[in-house]
Amino acid sequence: MSRPVFFADDLGDAAIGGVLGLDGPEGHHAAQVVRLREGEHVDIVNGAGRRIHATVRDVRRDRIDVSIDQILDEPAPEPRVVVIQALAKGDRSERAVETMTEIGVDVVVPWAAAHSVSQWRGDKAQRGVDKWRMTARGAAKQARRSRFPDVLPLAETRQLRDIVQGASLALLLDEGASAPLSAVSIPDHGDVVIIVGPEGGMSAAEHDTVTSWGARPVHLGPNILRTSTAGSVAAAMVLSATARWR
């Protein structure tokens, strides 16, 4: 059975043989929801690559104490997978972030595309980003990841230029493209950027802009996928062609 994973943001002073306490929401979840017991094994991660194998030594109402058995610093993966995800309506955006996190996406960029049905204006933009970050964190723990995805601030099309131009490979998901993603050679280093348009499709100006920056139009196959599904499928195809999934 897999070890349950819990989050602690400060693991810099951890030492093998030492004791670490989890309280707050993580401690409550461990003690009251997971119902851990003394002697059970858990992982504690900081979301930035550090993983601690630990053994539960004490359980209280909203806290557990664990003894540190092993400390692992896991390297950043190569290539890094970045998904520029157009905002989707309802809770589909959160479902997309959840699935992409479980698959292994490293960076998610919320994109306010011209034809996005959902629009984040004013304070809604920060609330939306915060919700995506919470979703990514929960999914990362479920997937037992030591590194959590970075969810960047909401971006307009013009703000995507550096991300696209700085990529080792940039892919624009386009149902009208002549080339399938499955035929593309995936680099083994740098960023692979996947651009996912909104439900209403990208505007012609957006399409021309991102392709002028070097994004390569590709399709995923004969079926048309929702914007909330396409990024996850594309990320899985990319990762399956790298050493990360071997």
Burial of 243 (0-12, 13-18, 19+ CB in 10 A): exposed
Q: Is the per-residue pLDDT at 152 higher than 70?
A: yes
User: pTM, whole model, 2 decimals?
Assistant: 0.91
Amino acid at 34: V
Cα–Cα dist 43/114, whole Å: 42
Q: How far is CA 13 from the centre of its chain?
A: 27
- By residue count, the chain amounts to 246
The CATH number of 5-73, from 2.40.240.20, 3.50.50.60, 1.20.120.80, 1.10.3720.10, is 2.40.240.20
The Cα 141–Cα 156 span in angstroms is: 30
How far is it, in rounded angstroms, from Cα 13 to Cα 60? 23
CB burial string 9-23: b at 16+ within 10 A, e below: eebeebeeeeebebb
Query: What value does the CA radius of gyration of the chain take, rounded to a whole number of Å?
Result: 20
For residue 200 the two structure tokens come to 């209403």
Answer yes or no: is pLDDT of 182 > 80.
Answer: yes
pLDDT band at residue 122 using 50, 70 and 90 as cut-offs:
confident
Percent of the chain with pLDDT over 90: 81
The neighbour count for residue 141, using CB atoms within 10 Å, is: 20
Residue range 20-73, pLDDT digits in tens: 999 999 999 999 998 999 999 999 999 999 999 999 999 998 999 999 999 999
In this prediction, residue 224 carries a pLDDT of: 85
pLDDT at 1 over 70: no
- Domain boundaries, given as residue ranges, for the chain: 5-73, 80-245
The pLDDT value given to residue 246: 86
Strands 216-218 and 169-173: parallel
**Could you give the CA distance from residue 167 to residue 107 in angstroms, rounded to a whole number?**
12
Paired tokens of 48: 């930035």
The chain-wide mean pLDDT, for the chain, equals 93
**pLDDT value for 44:** 93
56 strand-pairing partners: 66
Is 6 within 8 Å of 21 (Cβ atoms)?
A: no
Q: What is the pLDDT of residues 83-114, one digit of tens each?
A: 999 998 878 889 999 999 999 999 999 999 98
Laid out side by side, the sheet with 50-59 consists of 5-7, 41-45, 50-59, 64-73, 19-22
Q: Left if phi > 0, otherwise alpha if psi is -120 to 50, otherwise beta: which for 144?
A: left
Assigned CATH for 80-245: 3.40.1280.10
Strands 107-111 and 19-22, by their bridges, are unpaired
Q: What is the rounded CA–CA span in Å between residue 153 and residue 82?
A: 14
> For residue range 199-237, what is the model confidence (pLDDT) as tens digits?
888 999 999 999 999 999 999 988 889 989 999 999 999
Tokens found for residue 42: 């858990």
